[in-house]
Amino acid sequence: MIEKGLNNFFWGFLFISLNFRICGFDILPDVIGFILFAMAFSQLKEYSQHFSKASTLNIFTLILSIFSIYEVKNNNSGITFGILGPFSILVGLASLILTLYVIYNLFMGMKEMLNNHDKHMLAEEADDRWSQYKALTIASILAFIVIFIPVINILYVLGLFIFGIVFLVKTMQYFSSCKKSFSGYNY
Under DSSP, is residue 71 helix (H, G, I), strand (E, B) or coil?
Answer: coil
Closest residue by Cα to residue 178 from 90, 48, 60:
48
**pTM exceeding the 0.85 threshold for the entire prediction:** yes
What pLDDT digit, counting tens, does each position of 35-75 carry? 999 999 999 999 999 999 999 999 999 999 998 888 777 66
Q: What is the pLDDT along the chain (187 residues), one digit of tens a residue?
A: 899 999 999 999 999 999 888 887 888 899 999 999 999 999 999 999 999 999 999 999 999 999 888 877 766 665 665 666 678 788 889 999 999 999 999 999 999 999 999 999 999 999 999 999 999 999 999 999 999 999 999 999 999 999 999 999 999 999 999 999 998 766 5
Backbone angles phi, psi at 21, to 5 degrees: -115, 135
Beta bridge partners of 26: 21
Res 79: pLDDT: 60
Instruction: Give the H/E segment covering residue 110.
Output: helix 87-116
